[in-house]
Structure 1
């Protein structure tokens, strides 16, 4: 809708010189159509346009209907109905005077009907008929009234005016200072904080109602967490009023990655999003640097919780979140004592021992790898993985052979009875402290298991 649609003539009118008689009629009145041949071009140049009818600052939407009618035979008038689902239609009749004397017959009559009140976003069905009602001369068309978001009406129609919200953030006090402008006159105004989840915004905290005389003042609202879906919502205090929302922290995605929990009994790692977000979630093994090696099983979420079953908690087992704007890595076990098993190396009487203790029944693999000259722990040629199980609240010792002290080696242990685990390296063999500085390399290192 452009500016030319404002305050246009919305009254009845017809071609000059004809005694046209307009009247309204009930849409419930029955006008059975006649199945007779007529010109297929009875109605021409039908125009449906939206008009702003304003009195002062109060405006309403009207539908303007105009058409040209080719009057032939015994056609002595036209009718129009504008119907919408769930509403009684607006119907009007125009009869042409002096038809019997031939002044209208064979001519084109231009008619304009009285404007019909409509609402933003309303779907209107417009039907034009002749009088008498000839079936083959009927004209119908759908007309969609612009939504309140349309530039031409959003600040003009009372029911479209939502007010505008400006805000300032005080992060230290978790507080928002809000100012309302351009609100409807003489109407209370509601303000609240809410969490936006798709089309629904669920309220957080108390709703504030502001009297018109206090709209010039600033309002303070307190929040608990600066989530990206936390929004300020405002609307005029009337039934079915449209609402305006602004979301101060919409780019603050990192707040979402903190909702990670771990169920020790079920061995489940769960991430439940506090806001709807399109993200890929996976588990990875942090290597101590900036990289994190994926462990497989990527979960794609658009607001659903991600559940990873059979997870062994470890400080280096992390969760990777990937969105279209970036990647974040969070390590939920990095702080605190979450591990359910430990591995350590001890020395007694010149003999090296590796000890595995566990608080749950678990299965492990163990091997010996070499740290020199590569910074990565390289599998020693000829050395094989060994697998074993340890009962709950038990420990197992490994008697390392003396050849393990001929190279700079580490003991590599990993749980194998779960889907997600990371290897643990123990590199503090006492006999290696001086050997690691040299280049001497042995062919293999062996160990024997002693269950305790």
Structure 2
């Protein structure tokens, strides 16, 4: 029995395995994917709730001109969907067409005509389904047509008509999707606006979005997905340009395959700096441990080292290992100071992250005593501090210890504490180094500027007094010499005054002006009114010739004082009308002077004799237009406006040649003139002459 049972069981097992293989093989060959519609059919078929006859692939005449009543089909009269058709061992996609029409009030309705068009290939498909005669009619007509075979990627347009045609139809379109297809798209990067312009070709609607590619493509916080219709564009904005920034596109239906493009993934170098900047978070300190978090959306992992910031650089110490836990990097036994930092390196790019300056927990102040330095260390935490004198190396920046190390510790209590530490006074060029010595890594604070002056106040006061006294003495001597220079006569220039005797008041003005030249400017003035005895003895013409030769020998100046009356008298003299009633020169001083000087004024411009002449006129008594053309070859001065130029003209042979000095002296003389009684008297005469000569001329 045992052998017989074994012999029977073996064929049964073999038969069972054979059945399972056949079932699996049948499933592999005949099962159809139902991803498109969730429905599977086994053959083409048509279903209707009335007896019908079917005609396919025929072009039907849909003329509705004979109809008198038009009736609109509702949109839900036609619905189309995709289903899977099993055709032997394979599956095909096809379109199921459902018709549902309420025929109430339509006694002549016989059936329906359906026309379909594949748009891309321009393939036509149609069928007509009609009710058989003598068939009982119903209010609601239903038809299901299985089915029209199609392919993925086709656009199908289906239109429903009534038979007879009531003039209106229902049209539906459907795109045959391919679950394995990925949408294609193009993009343009506009860097200055931080956006991507994305476009898709003709086809179904597509969703596009920006994401950061790590393990998965994570959404941007500032950018949402956008829906793009066929042949349209979308603008996707971003905030930070990272090397793992990608563009992803997928169809709007569920579980669509996705297509992704990462523009910067092949050349991430230029964008690593931005990645490190936005990924490195703030540094935190806790129990002498410095921690920083690297929260990157990209899968790039940097190298993190510890560095000390010094002279604008961060010096890396490679022997110090920074530990990592998850996304956090930390370093133990380190002081809290903004000079102690982390350096992140990735693809030859670096980013330095330092603590905030407000995180510093201790500070030091220096007070200089007579023989030592007193350091005051203010600490917010219990700690130990060290200090020593050192000599700084200018090349390396290191400060080498030159003395013993002095230590001080705080008490183990909470709150701010002040510690006192005394050190010997350092030598010239030395510094004081202060650091926290209870941790492994601490920034060394250098104090190199010391002011010892307040310990020598007596000597400083004596030196200061001597310097001030010396400066005052030098200033006094200089001012005294300058005062003598300003107040002493600058020259002994001989000046012959020539004028027109307009009136008795004008003669008084001429005398006042001559007195000004003599007393204020220190000139030797020759004036006929001051030498009347000689004039009466030898006559006016010989006297004038004699004085003119004397001025020429002494290299002096002939100064002509001009007024409006001088112009009138000069014209009378030129016309030889000196005996007219208007001629007021009783001694003919003006005529004699013009006769003597006439030969010098009628020569060429390069005659050296013209350098010995100068013309002066007072403001209000004369204008430039009142001066004849022959006298315009010589220098003219309007007083008191051109006082500086007049002084410079009279000074041209002295040793005081610098222009700035002459200008300063002229300003001083002008100031002295304004403040003097002679000026006030001279101004008084000028005002009276203005009034008198003005009335006379008018």
Q: Aligning the two structures, in what range does the TM-score lie when normalised by the shorter sequence?
A: 0.5 to 0.7
> Does residue 1:368 correspond to 2:389, yes or no?
yes
CA apart distance, 1:303:
7.4
Question: Is 1:273 aligned with 2:295?
Answer: yes
Give the aligned partner of residue 335 of structure 2.
Answer: 312
> Shift of residue 364 of structure 1?
2.1
1:425 matches 2:446: yes
Q: Distance in 2 between matches of 1:176 and 1:413?
A: 52
Deviation at 1:243, TM superposition (A): 1.9
Q: TM-score, normalised by structure 2?
A: 0.36
Paired residues for 1:172-211 under 5 Å: 173=193, 175-182=194-201, 186-205=203-222, 207-211=224-228
Looking at structure 2, the residues matched to 327 and 225 of structure 1 have their Cα atoms a distance apart, in angstroms, of 17
CA deviations over 1:18-47 (Å, ceiling 9, x no partner)? xxxxxxxxxx996279xxxxxxxxxxxxxx
- Of 14, 18, 39, which aligns to 1:31? 18
TM-score by length of 1: 0.53
- Look up the match of 2:420: 397
Residue 216 in structure 1 maps to residue 232 in structure 2: yes
Using the TM superposition, give the Cα deviation of residue 90 of structure 1 relative to its aligned residue in structure 2, in angstroms.
2.0
Partner of 1:387: 407
Superimposed CA distance per residue, residues 102-145 of structure 1 (whole angstroms, 9 cap, x where no aligned partner): xxxxxxxxxxxx99789xxxxxxxxxxxxxxxxxxxxxxxxxxx
Larger Rg computed on CA atoms: 2
Residue number in structure 1 paired with 2:350? 328
1:386-406 deviation per Cα after TM superposition (whole angstroms, max 9, x unaligned) = 33322441122322213x2x2
| CA deviation profile, 1:42-98 (whole Å, cap 9, x unmatched) | xxxxxxxxxxxxxxxxxxxxxxxxxxxxxxxxxxxxx99997xxx942279xxxxxx
CA distance in 1, matches of 2:380, 2:433: 19
The answer to whether structure 1 residue 284 and structure 2 residue 299 are counterparts is no
1:369-388: CA deviations, max 9, x gaps? 1126765444345x333333
Shift of 1:232: 2.4
The residue number in structure 2 matching 1:17 is none
Gaps of 5+ in 2: 1-14, 32-87, 93-176, 454-698
**Aligned-residue offset at 1:157:** 7.3
Give per-residue Cα distances to partners, 1:339-389, cap 9 Å, x unaligned.
1111233324564322322122222232221126765444345x3333332
In the alignment, which residue of structure 2 is the partner of 1:139? none
The answer (yes or no) to whether the contact 1:369–1:378 under 8 Å persists in 2 is: yes
Q: For residues 18 and 189 of structure 2, what CA distance do their matches in structure 1 show? A: 63
Give the Cα–Cα distance (whole angstroms) in 2 for the partners of residues 369 and 265 of structure 1: 31
Alignment of 1:245-256 (within 5 A): 245-247=260-262, 251=268, 252-256=271-275
8 Å CA contact retained: 1:82, 1:91: no
- Out of 413, 430, 437, which is 2:434 matched to? 413
Call closer, same or farther: CA 1:255–1:81 in 2, change over 3 Å: farther
- In 1, are the aligned partners of 2:211 and 2:220 still within 8 Å (CA)? yes
- Matched-pair contact (CA < 8 Å) for 1:192–1:204: no
Q: Shift of residue 299 of structure 1?
A: 4.1
The number of equivalent residue pairs is 288
Q: Distance in 2 between matches of 1:81 and 1:389?
A: 86
Relative to structure 1, the CA distance from residue 419 to residue 373 in structure 2 (aligned partners, 3 Å threshold; closer, same or farther) is closer
Match of 1:237 among 252, 255, 260: 252
Q: How does 1:75-154 map to 2 (within 5 A)?
A: 88-90=27-29
Distance 1:225 1:295, change over 3 A: same
Q: CA deviation at 1:190?
A: 0.6
Deviation track 1:163-203 (CA, whole Å, cap 9, x = no partner) reads 134132344x5x41322234xx5422111222322234345
> What's the offset of the Cα at 1:281?
0.9
CA distance in 2, matches of 1:308, 1:395: 28
Structure number having the greater strand percentage: 1
Separation in structure 2 between the aligned mates of residue 377 and residue 346 of structure 1, nearest angstrom: 24
- Verify the 8 A CA contact 1:277 1:303 in the aligned structure 2: no
RMSD: 3.9
Give the Cα–Cα distance (whole angstroms) in 2 for the partners of residues 366 and 301 of structure 1.
33
Is residue 2:243 matched to residue 1:228?
yes
Q: Secondary structure at the match of 2:305?
A: strand
- Kept after mapping to 1: 8 A contact 2:337/2:357: no
Q: What secondary structure is seen at the aligned counterpart in 1 of 2:275?
A: helix
| RCO higher in structure (CA 8 A, sep ≥6) | 1
Quote the offset at 1:419 in angstroms.
4.3
CA distance in 1 between counterparts of 2:204 and 2:334 reads 57
With over 3 angstroms needed to count, the CA separation of the structure-2 counterparts of 1:372 and 1:310, relative to structure 1, is closer
Q: Structure 1 117/369 Cα, relative in aligned 2: closer, same or farther at 3 Å?
A: farther
Looking at structure 2, the residues matched to 88 and 80 of structure 1 have their Cα atoms a distance apart, in angstroms, of: 8
Distance 1:176 1:204 in 2: 15
